[in-house]
Amino acid sequence: MDQEKMEGQELELENGSQTTSEAENTDKEEAKENKHESRKEKKEKNRIEALEKEVKDLTDKIAKEKDDYIRLMAEFDNFRRRTSQEKLDLVSVAAEETIKGLLPVLDDCERAMEALSKSDDNPAAKEGTELIYNKLIGYLQSRGLNRIEAMGTDFNTDLHEAVAQFPVQEEDKKGKVYDVIQTGYTLNGKVVRFAKVVVAI
C-alpha cells in the first residue's frame, strides 16, 4: 500500500513536472511571440513616424513652393502694371509736349481773328481764319485740352499767373481777375499753361 502510494506520488510529481515544463514552454513561446509582436509593433511605429515626417516635409516644401509662386506672380503683375503705366505716361507726355507746342499757333489764330473782326477789308480772310481756328481748337479739345476761364473769377495761384495789378474802386472786384493777357489751358485736368492775368486790387 505504501509502495503504491509512493508510486502514485512519484507519478503525480512526474505529471506535475511535465505540466510545469509544458507551462514553462508555453510561457516561453508566448514571451517569444510577445517579443516578436513588440518588435513588429515597434518597427511599424518607426515606419509610421518616418512616413509622417516625410509627409510633413513634403507638405512644408509644397507650401513654400506655392508661396514662392504666388510672390512671383504678384511681382510679375506689378511689373506688367508698372511698364504699362510707364508707356501711358510716355505717350501722354509726348502728347502734352506736342499740344504745348501748338498753343502759340492757337494764340496767333485768336489775334488774327480779333484783328480781322475790327477790319472790314476782307471777309473771306476772316472766314478762313475762323475755319482754321475752329478745326484746330476742336482737335485739341478732343485730346483733352480745355481753356481756363479766368475773366472775373477769383485770383487762383493754381490756375493763374499775375503779371500786373490794377487798382479798382469797387470792393466786390478786388482780388478778382481784371484782364487776361494770355489764355491758360489745362490738358486732362493738368495745367499746361497758366493764364497770365491782371489782378484787381
pLDDT in tens, 66-119: 999 999 999 999 999 999 888 887 777 778 888 999 999 999 999 988 888 887
Q: Please tell me the least confidently modeled range out of 6-20, 29-43, 97-111, 147-161.
A: 6-20
Give per-residue pLDDT as tens, 138-189: 999 998 899 999 998 999 999 999 999 999 888 888 889 999 999 999 998 8
- The pLDDT-based confidence of 120 (bands split at 50, 70, 90) is confident
Residue 61 sits at the vertex; the CA angle it makes with 57 and 64, to the nearest 5 degrees, is: 140
Question: Which residue has 499753361 as its cell numbers?
Answer: 193
Tell me what the mean pLDDT of segment 5-25 comes to.
56
Bridge partners for 154 per DSSP: 176
Domains recognised in the chain with CATH numbers: 2-143 (no CATH), 145-201 (2.30.22.10)
C-alpha cell at 128: 478762313
- Is the model more confident about 112 or about 26? 112
* Secondary structure class of 191 (helix, strand, coil): strand
Asked if pLDDT for residue 5 goes beyond 80, the answer is: no
Helical pair 123-142 and 2-118, crossing angle rounded to 10 deg: 170
Query: Could you tell me the pTM of the whole model?
Result: 0.56
Q: What are phi and psi of 151, to 5 degrees?
A: -55, 120
pLDDT value at position 183?
Answer: 93
